[in-house]
C-alpha cells in the first residue's frame, strides 16, 4: 500500500494546488472522494483489468462518475490512466483529504471512553482540544468497556492516554525501573 501512496502523492499534491488556485477545494474533494470510491469498487476493478487500453479504462471511470467530474477531474483520470496509475486513485483521494484538512486547519480526533460522553462533556473536550491543537476539532466518540475509566484520545500521530489502564501501566513501568 505504501507504494501506491508514493505513486499517489504527486497527483494529490498537483490536484490540491490546482484546487487552491481555482478556489475549488471543496469541489475537488467531492470529485476525488467519489472517483476514489468508484476505482476501489471490486466490480470496477474487474472491468478495468479486462480492458486493453488506458483510454478505455479512463472512459469507464469517467462514464461511471458522469457529472461528478468536471473537465479538470476528467483530465486527471485520463492522465493517471495513461501512466497506468488508476489503481492509486483511492490513495489520491485520501491524500487530498489530508491536504484539505491541513489547509482548513481541521483535525479528526478519536475519543474512546468507558461510558458514553454527555453532549456537554463532548463540547468541553472539543474546546480544550481545539486550544491544544490550534485547529478545528472533529470528535469521533466511541465506547469501549476495556478502557475501565478515563479517556484515550487519538489525533493523527498523537495519543493521549488518560485511561485508568494507561495510568496503571505507567505506574508499573515506573516501579519496575
DSSP assignment string, 108-168: EEEEEESSPPPHHHHHHHHHHHHHHHTSEEEEEEEE-GGG-SSEEEEETTEEEE-SHHHHH
Give the cell for residue 53. 487500453
List of domains in the chain: 2-102 (1.10.520.20), 105-176 (3.40.30)
Residue 9 pLDDT class (50, 70, 90 cuts): very high
pLDDT digits (tens, 9 = 90+) for 95-152: 999 899 888 888 889 999 988 989 999 999 999 999 998 888 889 999 988 888 889 9
Give the cell for residue 105. 486547519
Residue 86 and residue 7 in contact, taking contact as beta carbons nearer than 8 Å: no
Element containing residue 107 per DSSP (H, E): strand 106-113
Checking DSSP bridges between strand 158-161 and strand 151-155, what pairing results, if any? Answer: antiparallel
* Contacts of 8 by beta carbon, 8 Å cutoff, 6+ apart: 85, 88, 89, 91, 92, 94, 95
Residue with grid cell 490512466, as numbered in its chain: 81
Sign of the dihedral defined by the CA atoms of residues 80, 15, 90, 154, in that order: positive
Taking the alpha carbons at both ends of the chain, their separation in whole angstroms is 39
Give the cell for residue 40. 476501489
Kindly state the DSSP code that residue 52 receives in the 8-state scheme: S
- Among the ranges given (21-30, 92-101, 162-171), the one the predictor scored with the smallest mean pLDDT: 162-171
pLDDT digits (tens, 9 = 90+) for 53-89: 888 888 888 888 888 888 999 999 999 989 988 888 9
Residue 30 pLDDT class (50, 70, 90 cuts): very high
Instruction: Supply the pLDDT for residue 112.
Output: 92
Q: Is the pTM for the entire model greater than 0.85?
A: no
Average pLDDT, the chain: 88
Amino acid at each position: 500500500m505504501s507504494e501506491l501512496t508514493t505513486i499517489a502523492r504527486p497527483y494529490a499534491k498537483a490536484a490540491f494546488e490546482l484546487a487552491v488556485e481555482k478556489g475549488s477545494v471543496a469541489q475537488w474533494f467531492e470529485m476525488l472522494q467519489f472517483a476514489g470510491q468508484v476505482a476501489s469498487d471490486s466490480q470496477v476493478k474487474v472491468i478495468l483489468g479486462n480492458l486493453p487500453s488506458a483510454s478505455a479504462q479512463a472512459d469507464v471511470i469517467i462514464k461511471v462518475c458522469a457529472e461528478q467530474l468536471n473537465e479538470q477531474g476528467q483530465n486527471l483520470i485520463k492522465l493517471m490512466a495513461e501512466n497506468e496509475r488508476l489503481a492509486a486513485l483511492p490513495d489520491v483521494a485520501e491524500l487530498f483529504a489530508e491536504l484539505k484538512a491541513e489547509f482548513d486547519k481541521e483535525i479528526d480526533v478519536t475519543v474512546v471512553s468507558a461510558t458514553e460522553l454527555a453532549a456537554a462533556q463532548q463540547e468541553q473536550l472539543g474546546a480544550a482540544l481545539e486550544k491544544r491543537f490550534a485547529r478545528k476539532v472533529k470528535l469521533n466518540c466511541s465506547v469501549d468497556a476495556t478502557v475501565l475509566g478515563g479517556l484515550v484520545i487519538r489525533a493523527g500521530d498523537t495519543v493521549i492516554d488518560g485511561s485508568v489502564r494507561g495510568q496503571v501501566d505507567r505506574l508499573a513501568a515506573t516501579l519496575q525501573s
